[in-house]
Structure 1
Amino acid sequence: MKKWSVVLILGAAQFVMVLDSTVMNVSISTVVADLDSSVTAMQTAITFYTLTMAATMLLGAKLGDIWGRRRALVIGSIVYAAGSLVTALSPNMLTLFLGWSVVEGLGAVLVIPAIAALLADNYDGPDRVTAFAAIGAVSGAAVAAGPLIGGFMTTYLSWRYVFVAEVVIMAVVVVFAGRIADKAARRRLGIDVPSVLLSASGLVAIVYGMLQSKVWGWIVPLRSPEIGGVEIAPLGISLTAWLIVVGGALLSLFFARQRRLVARGRDPLLHVQLLSIRRLRSGLSVLGGQYAITAGLFFMVPVYLQMTLGFDALETGVRIFPLSVSLILFSVVGTRLSARWSPKRIVRVGQWTLAASSLVLLTAVDPELSSPAFGLGMFCAGAGLGLLASQLGNVNMSSVTEKETSEVGGLQGVFQNLGSSLGTALIGSILIGALATSFASGVAQSSLPAETQAIVAERTEGGVEIVPADSVPEIATEAGLGDAEAAELQTVYVQSQLASLRTALFALILLALASLLLSRGIPDDVPRRSGAAPTQAPSTPRGPDSGPEESTSVER
């Protein structure tokens, strides 16, 4: 048992990293009610949790090289536990945002790269294979159990206890971290602060612009922010478009700076020449698309189940469970298929399965989401994601030499979390924006009196919030509407929520089809095996998707 104590310690940290990314989605309505907040604020918190990691993951990996992986694990665990404690005690959404979205995210960027590196340090040969497989299994178990654990705790106790438990687990990791060997020599590296600022601000600008598109509009301004009563929409173009342009420009400056640093013999934050490797670039792009689709589904479905149908967190977790189970199952299936099929074939099957599952879910949309087709669609979505997860970690790591695997691990973390934040921001904004449009159209076409329509239009001028459908009559009554009018308004609102869900699912289909264009560089040859299992575990959500390859080949 002593031999596997390192796996147990790192597995505990890995379980928390994965759990935290799924537990809040099934608790959205409860957290909104407890903190007297809104679904839009929760969307922002969920988006920034992953965006914080995406924006600082390269820095976290670099600090691990400088401090040592074990020290990075300990410091990151302490920071993460502090954020979890703040989150558990949050009296309002701002405190939750700081504790969960910022502090926990900063702790995670130290913990996640350290887990993979320390596993490689502590195990060799077949034991390394077993260790990475065990961590992959822990990640898969957390994906499957996360919605159920979060649902049970939220329904019968409180969502806050989940974060209290995280504090305890990370404290145990810190106490027993001394048993983990850290064989890698610390490297004397410089950290280029302008590079950190350029990459982080560029990513934040792009994602925040997409997040606010539901309010500001994409190109034509809708409800622009104001300063001193003056709307901010330069040259009559929405601030969303400007933020995306500025973010793209900042990232271009980041890449240019990395090349200059290398030319001058200084340490870059990222060796950008890695992205010239076709198979790596393709693998990372598909990985980002995979996480965007996952995050979009994990946001839109719980929001509808809780806010329209009134499901509690546990019922929501049960409805999501088919996706979690099939993701784990098909991660294993994909690994077995890799002995006979090329990575590209498995990835393409996964991508087409994702697109088909989104279409099945779209056809299964009904007021109760209770048809067998909905369960089938969720299961197929998990199957597609599992097939992708089984291949992408290996594709990325086998694209480089062993010396570069640490940096590629950081890149995987960036693309995973950037995909998640973009998925939540983009799909969530489409969902909320479509609700406003559909509701306004529904009210205009309803039999409500003109004066009632005017009242509703005035009250929703700043947008339509996602609220529990059964609360609409009470809100309408407080606005001075009669009982009959309030009931009709509730009907319009429920139909609008259903229409917005269909719109968001259609956007998911387009996203899944678009990701097909990104997979052209995935290797199309069946890897030759010498009787040994691959050295990476399947890249399950939120985990270290792979470890170093024993032998690698570089295709540029």
Structure 2
Amino acid sequence: MRSWSVIIILAVSQFVMVLDSTVMNVSISVVAADLGTSITGMQAAITFYALTMAAFMLTGGKLGDLMGRVRAFKIGAVIYGIGSLTTALSPNLTVLMLGWSLVEGLGAVLVIPAIASLAAINYTGKARVTAFSVLGAVTGLAAAVGPLLGGLMTTYASWRYVFVAETVVMVIVLFAAALIHDVERDRDVRIDPLSVLASAGGLALIVYGVLQSKTWGWLKPQHPPEIGGTEIAPLGVSPVAYLLLIGVVVLWLFVDRQRALALSGRQPLLRVELLRIPALRSGLGGFLAQYFAIAALFFVVPVYLQTMLGRDALQTGVKILPLSVGLVLFSVLGSWLTARRSARFIARGGQIIMALGVLFVISAVGVDLRSVAFAIGMFVVGAGFGLLASQLGNVNMSAVEEKDTSEVGGLQGTFQNLGSSFGTAVAGSVFILLLSSGFLSAVGNTESLSATEQQQITSTVDDAGVPIISADQARTLVLDSGGLESGAQAVSDAYADAQVAAIQQALFIVFVLLVLALLFSKNLPNRVVTHDDDDAADGVTGT
């Protein structure tokens, strides 16, 4: 008899994992104001939440092998629940980053690999395909509900209640986990501390460098950090370049150590040879690209709507709704297509559709984002994401033997969250940097402002940091600095145009990445899954 109790428990957990970040993004301005921080502070919190998961996901998968997947799942649920409650009670950004970016992230690194691994353990054949399709559809549902739920709660109550509810859900999941079947844990698993340190450190250096690029500059230093009044820019080069270089070297050393551990007969944190499996490599690359795109959209669009246009969290959720609807509908369609078309056909179709959707959004961006074309573009992006979500999880798990499912679950979570952290850091930093340069250009090109007035406004901006303000606030800033009404209006109009250009250029990076991802998808499975696969009569190996 087929039992779906396991996939329900796993799907609820997956729902919470995805819901968490979408709620925070759509409520970004309110949360920033509530905690007395800035949009850039919230960008850091969102980025480091994904980075924590990316940096320790492989370790989480190994811990699942060592202690048992169900036990890891339960411990992760407890840690995640504690983090959610801490987040709900956060009085400032520091506590938010402790509870959300760190503690919740560490709980997730145990839960997420366990979800993927336990789905593979409890279901086989066609049932496994269906189980991963359900998880993909739930991802879409959470992405759909997140913006609206976050918008409703933030607008009419408080964003904090969402995290209280997450705590309650994780308590329920903790007790329900007794129904999940597990295989014998691997008592021989060993975790190499140096490997954990190298993988986490390398990723952290790269992501932090990208995050700081908007302030410090990529190569030429702009506002580098200071120690004792001395700017830190060795050889006249921005610290960002050094962070990126050191991060790459540390990751290279990590890979080299994994090979050395394997050759010596010791257990590596990552079996590098897994990345030589063509289908797995393509599946992981797809995860990286799709989550980069979604994270970028879910940061840039809410910031533009709330900070530039003054929309509230609910209005922001409504603007994102077409993407969410497309995601849910096409996740279901992708699951239905699984027995009729190959994973390569469906996933490549999803990548093409998603790229076209981003291009459509870019072309439809206007000053107020009210056009029907913008809504259609967001729907198309969601449709492409939904098709990908319905396929890639099963592609990755089916590419390896059952004994490797925990490790692949960790790899999958690593690439997913690495994509999310890079999407928020790269697109967000480019967006903010373009806003800053756009504002300064608007001031410098306004002839009705005297050189003295331009200098005063520029000095005010330099003292306050990167300006993330609306066109009306830009107008007020000019007036407060002694400018005339005509000059203030000219700056406001020019800055409004610069804002549109900033969001278009930031999203164009997403389009380019999605196009490049197509080049790496050729190794996705080209075989249609049939009902007779793997002799799966019921498809359930445990209840």
Q: In which range does the TM-score fall when normalised by the shorter chain? A: over 0.9
Q: Which residue of structure 2 aligns with residue 396 of structure 1?
A: 396
Deviation at 1:356, TM superposition (A): 1.9
Q: Which residue of structure 2 aligns with residue 141 of structure 1?
A: 141
Change (3 A) 1:340 1:131: closer
Q: Is 1:464 the equivalent of 2:466? A: yes
For 2:316 and 2:507, the matched residues in 1 are separated by 18
* Residue identity matched to 2:266: R
| 1:3-51, Cα deviation, whole Å (9 max, x unpaired) | 5443443333222111102111110111111112111111111111111
Deviation at 1:185, TM superposition (A): 2.9
| 1:45-83, Cα deviation, whole Å (9 max, x unpaired) | 111111100000011111111112222122111111111
* Residue identity matched to 2:307: M
Q: Which residue of structure 2 aligns with residue 507 of structure 1?
A: 509
Correspondences of 1:143-158 after superposition (within 5 Å) = 143-158=143-158
Q: Which residue of structure 1 aligns with residue 199 of structure 2?
A: 199
For 1:342 and 1:9, the matched residues in 2 are separated by 28
Q: Is 1:235 the equivalent of 2:221? A: no
Deviation at 1:171, TM superposition (A): 1.6
The worse-fitting range, judged by mean Cα deviation, of 116-125 and 170-179 is 116-125
For 2:248 and 2:30, the matched residues in 1 are separated by 36
Deviation at 1:227, TM superposition (A): 1.5
Q: Residues 38 and 465 of structure 1 are in contact (CA less than 8 Å); yes or no, is this contact kept in structure 2?
A: no
Structure 2 unmatched ranges of 5 or more: none
Q: Which residue of structure 1 aligns with residue 221 of structure 2?
A: 221
Q: Which residue of structure 2 aligns with residue 250 of structure 1?
A: 250
Q: Residues 69 and 114 of structure 1 are in contact (CA less than 8 Å); yes or no, is this contact kept in structure 2?
A: yes
The DSSP-based 3-state class of the residue aligned with 1:370 is coil
Q: Which residue of structure 2 aligns with residue 553 of structure 1?
A: none
Q: Which residue of structure 1 aligns with residue 528 of structure 2?
A: 527
* Residue identity matched to 2:501: A
Q: Residues 26 and 317 of structure 1 are in contact (CA less than 8 Å); yes or no, is this contact kept in structure 2?
A: yes
| 1:467-495, Cα deviation, whole Å (9 max, x unpaired) | 35544455555545566655554434333
For 1:57 and 1:312, the matched residues in 2 are separated by 34
Q: Is 1:115 the equivalent of 2:112? A: no
For 1:226 and 1:518, the matched residues in 2 are separated by 42
Q: Which residue of structure 1 aligns with residue 66 of structure 2?
A: 66
For 1:353 and 1:134, the matched residues in 2 are separated by 21
The worse-fitting range, judged by mean Cα deviation, of 367-376 and 5-14 is 5-14
For 1:164 and 1:199, the matched residues in 2 are separated by 32
Q: Is 1:359 the equivalent of 2:366? A: no
Deviation at 1:331, TM superposition (A): 2.4
Share of identical aligned residues, percent? 55
The worse-fitting range, judged by mean Cα deviation, of 9-18 and 178-187 is 178-187
Q: Is 1:304 the equivalent of 2:294? A: no
Q: Residues 39 and 465 of structure 1 are in contact (CA less than 8 Å); yes or no, is this contact kept in structure 2?
A: no
Correspondences of 1:77-116 after superposition (within 5 Å) = 77-116=77-116
| 1:440-480, Cα deviation, whole Å (9 max, x unpaired) | 11111123233221111111226432135544455555545
When the two chains are superposed, the root-mean-square deviation of aligned CA atoms in Å is: 2.6
Q: Which residue of structure 1 aligns with residue 9 of structure 2?
A: 9
Deviation at 1:373, TM superposition (A): 0.7
Q: Residues 221 and 238 of structure 1 are in contact (CA less than 8 Å); yes or no, is this contact kept in structure 2?
A: yes
Q: Is 1:280 the equivalent of 2:291? A: no
| 1:241-275, Cα deviation, whole Å (9 max, x unpaired) | 11111111111100110111111111110100111
Q: Which residue of structure 2 aligns with residue 516 of structure 1?
A: 518
The worse-fitting range, judged by mean Cα deviation, of 23-32 and 507-516 is 507-516
Q: Which residue of structure 1 aligns with residue 314 of structure 2?
A: 314
Q: Is 1:180 the equivalent of 2:180? A: yes
Q: Residues 405 and 548 of structure 1 are in contact (CA less than 8 Å); yes or no, is this contact kept in structure 2?
A: no
Change (3 A) 1:116 1:351: closer
Q: Give the total of aligned pairs.
A: 538
For 2:535 and 2:307, the matched residues in 1 are separated by 44
For 1:410 and 1:347, the matched residues in 2 are separated by 21
* Residue identity matched to 1:407: E
The worse-fitting range, judged by mean Cα deviation, of 208-217 and 175-184 is 175-184
| 1:473-522, Cα deviation, whole Å (9 max, x unpaired) | 55555545566655554434333322211221222222222222322333
